[in-house]
């Protein structure tokens, strides 16, 4: 058992592929390895070592549809949100960075309260997380970045376990940005993260006391769970309306696409579970 753990640790920290990935994906860093939002190549390498373990060993992720991500140019990656901690975004980012069909190092829009957490804020910036402000997103789209946006926000990541795989209300900001900047939207279905960190209640008085949007009551354990990432085909919307009803209809089109990807992923996961049961008989 000890030898197996040693081999896993060795694979995490000695794998030369990490260096190869970082050398290949396009980036806009300056001569010191930083970009305007604090993204740092050195920290990205260190983060990838940990994420590689999560992706390959802990969650045993399978990704589908990576060919749908543009090899270059601006785009918005729109997944469902889940799991309390930002592991879902990390797995999506790792899949994109290691995508053999065209690696991208995406930026990710995060909730405003996260950068206020001591030490966490700087670390998040260094690996590509940016405060979810429309101005930030606009400027990055103008720099032809791939940007991960979770339209459910904390409504998605902190939903109760009994509501797993039920998409929460989407904000419409991503749609306005996609239309204005002619950016394709890539819907993404994430299956498996709903089971990994389970929330059973939202303790609102505690959230108010801490100045946080939510204070979830969770089991202090990260459950291992097979994860599937499904990247859908790009969806394009013209910048030809300002009517709220029409904008919301377009948001629902993206939401429906994600729901279809979730159904596909849940079917794959069920087949995987049944196969494991057969093997264990």
Give 234-245 pLDDT, tens digit per residue: 999 999 999 999
Position with higher pLDDT, 215 vs 195: 195
Kindly report the average pLDDT of the chain as a whole number.
Answer: 81
Look at the alpha carbons of 170, 224, 198, 126 in this order and tell me if their dihedral is positive or negative. negative
What are the structural domains of the chain? 2-280 (3.40.1130)
Of the pLDDT bands very low, low, confident and very high (cuts 50, 70, 90), residue 195 is: confident
Q: Which pLDDT value is given to residue 154?
A: 74
Position with higher pLDDT, 200 vs 55: 55
Q: Which pLDDT value is given to residue 49?
A: 82
pLDDT tens digit string along 77-107?
A: 999 988 667 788 889 999 998 998 888 888 8
Q: Which pLDDT value is given to residue 127?
A: 66
Position with higher pLDDT, 88 vs 15: 88
pLDDT tens digit string along 100-145?
A: 888 888 888 876 655 566 556 666 666 667 776 788 889 989 999 9
Q: Which pLDDT value is given to residue 211?
A: 60
> Is residue 210 predicted with pLDDT exceeding 70?
no
Q: Which pLDDT value is given to residue 153?
A: 80
Of the pLDDT bands very low, low, confident and very high (cuts 50, 70, 90), residue 270 is: very high
């Amino acid at each position: 058992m000890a030898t197996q753990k040693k081999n896993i640790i060795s694979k995490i920290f000695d794998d030369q592929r990490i260096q190869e990935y970082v050398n290949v994906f396009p980036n806009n860093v300056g001569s010191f390895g930083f970009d305007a939002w604090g993204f740092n190549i050195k920290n990205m390498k260190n983060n990838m070592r940990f994420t590689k373990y999560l992706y390959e060993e802990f969650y045993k992720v399978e990704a589908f549809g990576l060919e749908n991500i543009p090899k270059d140019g601006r785009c918005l990656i729109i997944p469902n949100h889940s799991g309390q901690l930002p592991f879902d975004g990390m797995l999506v980012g790792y899949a994109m960075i290691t995508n053999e069909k065209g690696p991208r190092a995406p930026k990710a829009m995060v909730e405003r309260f996260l950068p206020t957490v001591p030490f966490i804020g700087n670390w998040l910036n260094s690996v590509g997380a940016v405060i979810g402000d429309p101005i930030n997103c606009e400027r990055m789209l103008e720099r032809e970045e791939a940007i991960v946006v979770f339209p459910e926000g904390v409504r998605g990541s902190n939903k109760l376990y009994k509501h797993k795989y039920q998409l929460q209300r989407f904000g419409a900001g991503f749609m306005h940005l996609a239309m204005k900047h002619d950016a394709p939207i890539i819907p993404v279905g994430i299956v498996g993260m709903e089971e990994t960190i389970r929330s059973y209640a939202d303790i609102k008085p505690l959230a108010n006391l801490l100045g946080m949007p939510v204070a979830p009551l969770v089991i202090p354990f990260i459950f291992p769970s097979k994860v599937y990432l499904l990247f859908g085909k790009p969806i394009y919307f013209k910048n030809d309306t300002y009517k709220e009803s029409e904008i919301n209809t377009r948001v629902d089109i993206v939401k429906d696409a994600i729901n279809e990807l979730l159904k596909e992923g849940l079917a794959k996961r069920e087949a995987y579970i049944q196969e494991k049961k057969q093997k264990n008989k």
